[in-house]
Amino acid sequence: MYSERIRLASLRDRIVDAAAAAALIEDGMTVGISGFGCAGDAKAVPFALAERARHEPVRISLVTGASIGNGLDKLLAESGALARRMPFQADAALRKAINAGQVMFVDQHLSETVEQMRSHQLKRPDIAVIEAVAITEEGHIVPTASVGNSASLALFADQVIVEISLRYGTDLEGLHDIYIPADRPGRAPIPLVSPDQRIGATAIPVDPARIAAIVVSDYR
């Protein structure tokens, strides 16, 4: 089952429901979630985390690529799950919580977040939750409708939770060109010299040992 979506057979026994995956997120953790402007955002696990936060004390620092959709910021703020949020949000309920001093907020240029993580100026994620079309034979993650900070969050995180979205066809694989810059000070220029050139990969290269859970999702 799901062999087309999870092509590394040894990972299929890590399929759990969203509540079990959300239980891996502990109070005080820094959590990275995929998504950029309502595209490609993880859904099932954040929804389950918000529900859990209504019944027990769990507050996280949430890092994304930009704003996220499906009312996630609203749900997480109203459930009390957010201690900190960065680098961007566009939700009235979360904005109200920030202005009331209930949630700390870092408003920064979107390009700065993972760059500061890369140089260890910001704490790297304990867990990253990434929405994916599939997991390759190598255990690499094929993103859905966006990349944004997802690749770096997945690479930096101690553990990764993958949400396999059945709402996207597997023919989406190949859309993305994922390029990870080298560390400073030895970073070379981005080697892109023609508009039809590819310089990266179609999937996020993650060590399969760090994939802690897989959730199969049918959320829109």
Distance CA 214, CA 198 (A): 29
pLDDT at 69: 86
DSSP state of 183: P
Every domain of the chain and the residues it spans:
17-174+210-217
Distance CA 204, CA 90 (A): 27
pLDDT at 220: 77
Segment 34-38 mean pLDDT: 92
Q: What is the pTM of this model?
A: 0.96
pLDDT at 131 over 80: yes
Segment 138-149 mean pLDDT: 97
In this structure, CATH architecture of domain 17-174+210-217:
3-Layer(aba) Sandwich (3.40)
Distance CA 191, CA 28 (A): 39
- 179 neighbors 204 (Cβ within 8 angstroms): no
